[in-house]
Structure 1
Amino acid sequence: MTSSFERVYGALIGQAVGDALGAPTEGLTRAQIVERYGWVSDFVDDDPAGTDDTEYAVLTARVLLDHGAQLTPAQVAATWTENLVNQVGGFYGGGFSEMTAINNLRAGLAPPVTGSDNHEMWSDGAAMRIAPVGILCAGDPGEAARLAAIEAQVSHAKDGIYCAQVIAAGVAAALTADSWQKVVDAALGAAPADSWTGRTIRRAVDIGASNEDLSAALDELYERISIFHYPFADVGPEATALAMGVFVAARGEYVPTVLGGTNVGRDADTIAAMAGSMAGALHGSQAVPEKWRQRINVVRGHCIASTAGTDLAALARDLHAVLLAKEAGA
């Protein structure tokens, strides 16, 4: 039986490994991936590492450890100011939505303005970092969605927040679920059905469910979900939908899920990270191959200097301790 700690660590390391696997294929088309790699089944770099996706997730975990379910937008802004606004240099690979939010904070603005006065308020930047919210709200997707909206508004608004709510709710459900279908149901319930995010995710889930072959599912997802007329591949409703579609096509199994995210292209690191957090939470850290866990467990801090050296297993233990304390006090 998978322990609650293994599921917590599974969500964190599952996200980070997916991020690192997908980093080399980020921005590539399906055809380019096939031509260059055939099928990516392992790290293609000699020195793989997570990207800003993982490092922002660490920052989210830290603000939650400090403030828990009583989190406020002002507390998120204070954490970002301390760790990001005051950072000198760095930000390697940082996304536009986060950099705009940082500049807004630097200019004296506060949430929700920092997220709404942001030309990429609908990017996947909030969804990529939100898994720790799902962990803190294990078994309670509704609370995860509520807390995700508070955390996300420092850098996002509208569909950018909806996407974060979807992933947070999915992770929260996965930590206690006994089937991938329950994870999908919880995630779908977190976004307004008539929103851009809700419509796109439902279409992707249907595509994933209708394909028995993972590669065929990726082809159809790529062609029918991708927004080719926009110059960047970080649109939240697209990336989150692709993550959900891949998760369904892989029937929630960890390795096929993250490899599906890696091989679908587009914003592959974020897609594999989001899908990997749900699959890792569902099956636990033991579902993540040990050779992958060992190589990715320590965070580099390439984008956020203060995250350098973070041990994800230790961070998982801290988050798990919060869960145990909540259960004891219930």
Structure 2
Amino acid sequence: MRLPNDYLERVYAGVLGKLIGVYLGRPFEGWTYQKIMDELGPIEYYVHERLNQPLVVTDDDVAGTFTFIRALEDYGIKPNLSAEEIGKAWLNYIVEERSILWWGGNGNSTEHTAWLNLKKGVPAPHSGSIATNGQGVAEQIGAQIFIDGWAMVAPGQPELAARLAEQAGKVSHDGESVHAAMLWAAMEAEAFVASDIDHLIDTGLKMIPSDSQIAKMIKDVRAWHKAHPDWRDTRQKIQDNYGYDRYPGNCHIMPNHALMIMTVLYAPHDFQKAQMIVNTSGWDTDCNAGNVGCLLGIMNGLESIAEGPDFRGPIADRMLISSADGGNSINDAVRQAYFLTNLGLKLAGQQSLAAPKNGAQFHFSLPGSQQGFRPLTGLDAASGVRVGNTEFEGSRALTIEYEALGPAQSAIVTTPTFSPREMLDMRTYDLMATPLLYSGQTVKARVKGDAQNHGAIEARLRVRVYDGRDQLSDIDGQTVAVQPGSEAVLEWTLPDTGGQPIAEIGIVVTGTGRRADGKLLVDYLRWDGTPKLTLKRPAGDGDFWRMAWVNGASFFSKRFKAAFRIAQNRGEGMIIHGTRQWTDYQASGDVMIHLGNYGGLAIRAQGLRRYYGARVTRDGKMQIVKVRDEDTKVLAETAFKMEFDKHIAMKVSAQGPRITFEADGVSVTAEDTSADALHDGGVGLLIHEGALSSNEIRIGGV
């Protein structure tokens, strides 16, 4: 398979198009056309501020799209990935009633219904079938809204994209909903190699039954498009013939798919106009606009997004992916574009792209990329600071432009490394996240002063940390002088933050004379090393220290005396902290089991159903187990007398294939050299049908 020469950039444009569409449509999701026209008028640009909402929010369209695609990574990068395997990924990454899905209740929310089936042991595709859930539930919109990733890993391969989308869709949906998903995925895949919209639609139609309702509806919309130059007339025809009143449920696939087809017919090469049409038309605006945005981004590239108003600047690549793998939650479009492109290359039998700039987390390698970096405002922050992107040494770099800097004011730019404060104002979807960056790790950033700079400047690294009142406090690294045309590497080992999460990292630029004007280029910013920290309840009555744990337990409250007390009503519950960057490390602390069949620590946790467990059991055993999906394999065990309400000094370490567990002086060791061994992931506390507590968990090297 010959891949497009600009495959990576087209994926990046598709991811950005998806984000822009979702964030445009999210504030008025579910509104009718008439309500939008009465209260907002045509949607020409973001309206979140008019409705007093954040712009970058948690949303099922984003979280599901960029989480479920990880089944390829987890179960083998192969064209025959099955619905059953994707369903297993649902159970690993979805936190019940807290992440990704609309938790509207059994029989109300199609995805919630399917998740309950999976949890009961009904595998996909039966979990989402009409036979299991009925036609009304199975044919809502959800199969379509999550499909963009499957298309982006199959460029120019519409059959493969349609097949993957079909398997993914059947986890939760059936019938016309799956037909719509297959058709749109095929269109997006074909958009990598063709730009005629009628050809794309015909390509999609080849993937579904010709007598399907989706196919009939598309025939009608095409005819209306030819008959009516004004899209508003076609929109009225859709409302009259395919409106919500004609279908069961609250968000059926047929009306929304009709609006998407209408939009790309009227504005196939005008990103801004397409977003105006699909959002102004109403109904499931974030879903429809996200799919349309992804398709047009892939087909027309980054330039098409830039032809209208500045859609990219306010987003600055930011993305929130709420899931049980909390280290993946604070994300950006550049990181996702590389991830999807490498999956696509491997599917095509080709070699992955090398990690830019030796694996730096922030490398700014794609045109216009900012990876979340934005100017700060405040008492010591200069106004008029601009963040951009420019060519630099054969790649690209972030630019920080400043004017009239003196010692009293600074140009400050930061990017999120944990949940932003505005998450407290988000509605509907929780954000399950853990920080990306930790005490004990070493941060490096290479910077260069532009040769045309006027006046000398100093630069330093800064982290912003939540305090005891959930306000952000600043901690700065050492200041380094940066002369015009010279470069420097800012380096800093992050200090102990007292158990509080690091929310942002950035760079501060300060003038050293009366005035400095110019530009600082940031080649990369990275961090390395094993964290060294103590997770505990910090001073104050804030919440973010606790929200830095993915909560996969029935109950996790800060009101108990112990910092961490969790309870699980049915089955196994756990809370998780850390990222996939954690590889070889140890975790220790005193753990008390108040009730339960087993409890203890998890290490290298990659979700709720992929981890190594170091646990003691009610029936007198001490075990190291490997959990993968529904399988729990005991790797090592010995006798251990477990008593309720008694502190147990526990320590678990992972080094290469070796896992060691100590509890009150008793030790057991196991090695996992299997092909599916877990090599990285965070730490967890776990309990089975009972309660467990600990006052602190210490993380360090082995």
Using the size of structure 1 for normalisation, the TM-score is 0.89
Amino acid at match of 1:222: Q
- Is residue 142–residue 169 contact of structure 1 (8 Å, CA) maintained in 2? yes
Deviation of the 1:171 alpha carbon: 0.5
Distance in 1 separating the partners of 2:300 and 2:5 = 7
Could you say if the C-alpha distance between residues 76 and 176 of structure 1 is closer, same or farther in structure 2, counting changes exceeding 3 Å? same
Other-structure match for 2:675: none
Matching of residue 73 in structure 1 with residue 80 in structure 2: no
Distance in 2 separating the partners of 1:55 and 1:308 = 8
Could you say if the C-alpha distance between residues 252 and 194 of structure 1 is closer, same or farther in structure 2, counting changes exceeding 3 Å? farther
Matching of residue 8 in structure 1 with residue 17 in structure 2: no
Other-structure match for 2:344: 323
Other-structure match for 1:292: 311
Aligned ranges for residues 75-154 of structure 1 at < 5 Å?
Answer: 75-84=85-94, 86-87=95-96, 89-90=98-99, 93-94=102-103, 96-116=109-129, 117-119=132-134, 120-154=137-171
Could you say if the C-alpha distance between residues 77 and 99 of structure 1 is closer, same or farther in structure 2, counting changes exceeding 3 Å? same
Deviation of the 1:184 alpha carbon: 1.7
Other-structure match for 2:557: none
Pick aligned residue for 1:45 from 44, 48, 52: 48
Pick aligned residue for 1:158 from 169, 172, 175: 175
Other-structure match for 2:679: none
- Between Structure 1 and Structure 2, the one with more helix by share is 1
Could you say if the C-alpha distance between residues 324 and 275 of structure 1 is closer, same or farther in structure 2, counting changes exceeding 3 Å? same
- Is residue 238–residue 255 contact of structure 2 (8 Å, CA) maintained in 1? no
Could you say if the C-alpha distance between residues 7 and 223 of structure 1 is closer, same or farther in structure 2, counting changes exceeding 3 Å? farther
Amino acid at match of 2:68: T
Distance in 1 separating the partners of 2:198 and 2:216 = 18
Aligned-residue Cα RMSD (Å) equals 2.6
- SS of residue matched to 1:246: helix
Amino acid at match of 1:310: N
1:97-129 deviations in Å (ceiling 9; x for gaps): 111111111111111111012342111101001
Matching of residue 59 in structure 1 with residue 78 in structure 2: no
1:186-243 deviations in Å (ceiling 9; x for gaps): 1222221211222122222332344333344433333333232446552112212221
Matching of residue 171 in structure 1 with residue 184 in structure 2: no
Distance in 2 separating the partners of 1:160 and 1:326 = 26
- Is residue 180–residue 282 contact of structure 1 (8 Å, CA) maintained in 2? no
Aligned ranges for residues 194-209 of structure 1 at < 5 Å?
Answer: 194-209=211-226
Deviation of the 1:159 alpha carbon: 1.4
- Is residue 60–residue 130 contact of structure 1 (8 Å, CA) maintained in 2? no
16-25 vs 103-112, greater mean Cα deviation: 16-25
- Is residue 92–residue 324 contact of structure 2 (8 Å, CA) maintained in 1? no
Highest RCO, 1 vs 2 (Cα 8 Å, sep ≥ 6): 1
Distance in 1 separating the partners of 2:99 and 2:350 = 41
- Is residue 21–residue 289 contact of structure 2 (8 Å, CA) maintained in 1? yes
Other-structure match for 2:237: 220
Deviation of the 1:293 alpha carbon: 2.8
Deviation of the 1:329 alpha carbon: 4.2
24-33 vs 217-226, greater mean Cα deviation: 217-226
Deviation of the 1:322 alpha carbon: 3.2
1:266-301 deviations in Å (ceiling 9; x for gaps): 112111122222111101233224842344432234
- Is residue 87–residue 305 contact of structure 1 (8 Å, CA) maintained in 2? no
Deviation of the 1:78 alpha carbon: 1.4
Other-structure match for 1:32: 35
Distance in 2 separating the partners of 1:92 and 1:326 = 28
- Between Structure 1 and Structure 2, the one with more strand by share is 2
1:26-46 deviations in Å (ceiling 9; x for gaps): 222211111111111111113
Other-structure match for 1:311: 332
Could you say if the C-alpha distance between residues 304 and 16 of structure 1 is closer, same or farther in structure 2, counting changes exceeding 3 Å? farther
Could you say if the C-alpha distance between residues 304 and 130 of structure 1 is closer, same or farther in structure 2, counting changes exceeding 3 Å? farther
- Is residue 128–residue 270 contact of structure 1 (8 Å, CA) maintained in 2? yes
Amino acid at match of 1:30: Y
- Is residue 64–residue 101 contact of structure 2 (8 Å, CA) maintained in 1? no
186-195 vs 87-96, greater mean Cα deviation: 87-96
Distance in 1 separating the partners of 2:188 and 2:121 = 33
Deviation of the 1:328 alpha carbon: 6.0
Deviation of the 1:94 alpha carbon: 4.9
Distance in 1 separating the partners of 2:23 and 2:231 = 20
Amino acid at match of 1:63: A
Could you say if the C-alpha distance between residues 190 and 70 of structure 1 is closer, same or farther in structure 2, counting changes exceeding 3 Å? closer
Deviation of the 1:318 alpha carbon: 1.8
- Is residue 134–residue 169 contact of structure 1 (8 Å, CA) maintained in 2? yes
Distance in 2 separating the partners of 1:224 and 1:304 = 41
Q: Which runs of 5+ in 1 are unaligned?
A: none
- Is residue 63–residue 76 contact of structure 1 (8 Å, CA) maintained in 2? yes
Distance in 1 separating the partners of 2:152 and 2:181 = 13
Q: Which runs of 5+ in 2 are unaligned?
A: 352-702
Could you say if the C-alpha distance between residues 143 and 301 of structure 1 is closer, same or farther in structure 2, counting changes exceeding 3 Å? closer
Amino acid at match of 2:320: R
Identity between Structure 1 and Structure 2 (%): 23
Could you say if the C-alpha distance between residues 191 and 64 of structure 1 is closer, same or farther in structure 2, counting changes exceeding 3 Å? same
- SS of residue matched to 1:299: strand
- Is residue 14–residue 276 contact of structure 1 (8 Å, CA) maintained in 2? yes
Matching of residue 256 in structure 1 with residue 273 in structure 2: yes
- Is residue 33–residue 281 contact of structure 2 (8 Å, CA) maintained in 1? yes
287-296 vs 103-112, greater mean Cα deviation: 287-296
Amino acid at match of 1:141: P
- Is residue 52–residue 304 contact of structure 1 (8 Å, CA) maintained in 2? no
- Is residue 222–residue 264 contact of structure 1 (8 Å, CA) maintained in 2? no
60-69 vs 6-15, greater mean Cα deviation: 60-69
- SS of residue matched to 1:284: helix
Amino acid at match of 1:18: G
23-32 vs 96-105, greater mean Cα deviation: 23-32
Amino acid at match of 1:37: L
Matching of residue 273 in structure 1 with residue 290 in structure 2: yes
- Is residue 52–residue 303 contact of structure 1 (8 Å, CA) maintained in 2? no
- Is residue 187–residue 200 contact of structure 2 (8 Å, CA) maintained in 1? yes
Using the size of structure 2 for normalisation, the TM-score is 0.44
